[in-house]
Structure 1
Amino acid sequence: MSNGLNRDRVLEAAVALADAEGLGAVTMRGVATRLGVEAMSLYHHLPGKKDELLDGLVDVVAAEIHAGLAARDGVGDDWVADVRSRCLVAREVVLRHPWLPALLGSRPAIRPGVYTLYDGVLGAMVSGGCSYRLGHRAMHALGSMVLGFTPELFSPEAGDEDATPEALEAMAQTVPHITAMVAAELHDPADPTLGWCDSQTEFEFTLGLLLDGIERSRRAGV
């Protein structure tokens, strides 16, 4: 078309908008404004309108993860190192796009690029001697870690006074252990996070526990 638009350029602008202003800013009109065009001009490239736009955001991030995986140094025959590396590459990408976890939770179907990320993890496990039975169980255990994040256990909204450490301190008689945990576990500002509880340190700790346990199960012949 004469304005030089194509689907990739539209989605690139949508990702940049989400990165800059959050997922709520990503509308057909918002993306069009960023590109300096009318919203109607986007429909030729995204006939499904906003649903296709949001699915396209997932596709872009999945493609970035795949590109990061392709650029890795070889991990040899060590399936644990391979899967660990896959999860950490995904996390590097998702830290650049912290809106992805919420977006994934809102989509009605899993995108093909996401399926292939899980298929790659399962392939690494099977190549390393894991059975498909163990692989199935491992997929449940790893969950969203393959995509670089963990679900939030505690996720207070900004301004939610009932969920702040100060409010928890006042509730110490009711939740003494949670109060003590919050006081002890305030995150280092330098530790990247995708949520109130999902820091890099916690992500790598949990990932290591899971992979060690799966490897023990493999050795036991599960």
Structure 2
Amino acid sequence: MTQQTDGTTRRTALNRERVLRAAVAHADRSGIEALSMRSLAQELGVVPMALYKHVANKDELLAGMVDIVIAEMDETDVVGGTAEDGGTAPAVEQADWKGAVRRRILAARRALLRHLWAARVIESRTAPTPGALGYLDALIGTFRSGGLSADLTHHAMHALGSRLWGFTQELLPAAPDTDAQVQAAALADLALRYPHIAEIAAGGAHDEDTVVGRGCDDQFEFEFALDLLLDGVERLHRQGWSSAGRT
């Protein structure tokens, strides 16, 4: 917060970038619920009013934080560019559009795993941020550079849904942490009432440390669904599919 110079104390100047990065670090450490303009100001060693020179309100702060995280989605494992490209679609060989899309989406997932609060904030936004629009534009450009029609790309984006951002909504709420005996009794009761759900719940591998908490949204399930969708889009592309031909 401060620097010592020749026996005097000089406060490090605030700017928008520093405010946003401090807010991201605050949320990473304490959770998004603990973030407020007051708590952020305290962490930066300034009065709350000093923050409003750089962000108009809490909503603008959250929008800026989202764009910080989205910039990380473009920084690694993306063919032909980084976040500095300003959302420009990477140049891809037509044969590798699927691999390029996959790498971009998995880079997004890694960013969200570093910032576990971000998925909820992205979902809650009522209007896309400039960073979000740039990310989506680049992703669409990857499909189009690969030779996919605008029509098929449109439907592929819908099918991928929140996976474009690196997360999916859990199918069922995660069970609360209980001891093994209580869990066994609950599963037995579930099997009596809803046998098919119980069969699936008992049959799949579960991850105790996933992006959404205990449940099935682990890396394997995410990549399985992503590959299933991209394989389907590739098949339709090869068939020359168009929504105009649907019945």
- Under a length normalisation based on structure 2, what TM-score does the superposition of the two structures give? 0.80
Residue 171 (structure 1) shift: 2.1
Which residue of 167, 172, 175 maps to 1:149? 167
Hey, what does 1:82 align to over in structure 2? 100
Q: Distance in 2 between matches of 1:159 and 1:79?
A: 42
Structure 1 residues 186, 219: CA separation in 2 closer, same or farther (over 3 Å shift)? closer
Hey, what does 1:38 align to over in structure 2? 47
Whose RCO is larger (CA < 8 A, sep 6+)? Answer: 1
Q: Distance in 2 between matches of 1:119 and 1:218?
A: 20
Structure 1 residues 210, 165: CA separation in 2 closer, same or farther (over 3 Å shift)? farther
2:148 is the counterpart of 1:130: yes
Residue 40 (structure 1) shift: 1.4
- The one-letter amino acid paired with 1:6 is N
SS state of the match for residue 55, structure 2? coil
Which consecutive residues of structure 2, in runs of 5 or more, have no partner in the other structure? Answer: 1-9, 84-89, 242-247
- Identical counterparts, % of pairs: 46
2:26 is the counterpart of 1:17: yes
1:171-191 per-residue CA deviation (whole Å, 9 max, x = no partner) reads 2111112222222324245xx
Hey, what does 1:174 align to over in structure 2? 193
Give the number of aligned pairs. 217
Q: Distance in 1 between matches of 2:128 and 2:187?
A: 37
Structure 1 residues 71, 115: CA separation in 2 closer, same or farther (over 3 Å shift)? closer
SS state of the match for residue 157, structure 2? helix
Hey, what does 1:193 align to over in structure 2? 210
SS state of the match for residue 192, structure 2? coil
Residue 65 (structure 1) shift: 1.3
Q: Distance in 1 between matches of 2:225 and 2:45?
A: 44
Q: Distance in 2 between matches of 1:156 and 1:202?
A: 15
Over the aligned positions, Cα root-mean-square deviation in angstroms equals 2.5
Tell me, yes or no, if the aligned pair for 2:20 and 2:68 is still in contact at 8 Å. Answer: yes
Q: Map of 1:34-73 to 2, 5 A cutoff?
A: 34-47=43-56, 49-68=57-76, 69=78, 70=81
Tell me, yes or no, if the aligned pair for 2:93 and 2:146 is still in contact at 8 Å. Answer: no
Greater Cα offset, 113-122 or 21-30: 113-122
Q: Distance in 2 between matches of 1:37 and 1:159?
A: 40
Hey, what does 2:86 align to over in structure 1? none
Q: Distance in 2 between matches of 1:157 and 1:29?
A: 34
Larger-Rg structure: 2
Hey, what does 2:5 align to over in structure 1? none
Runs of 4+ with deviation above 6 angstroms: none
Which consecutive residues of structure 1, in runs of 5 or more, have no partner in the other structure? Answer: none
Q: Distance in 1 between matches of 2:188 and 2:131?
A: 44
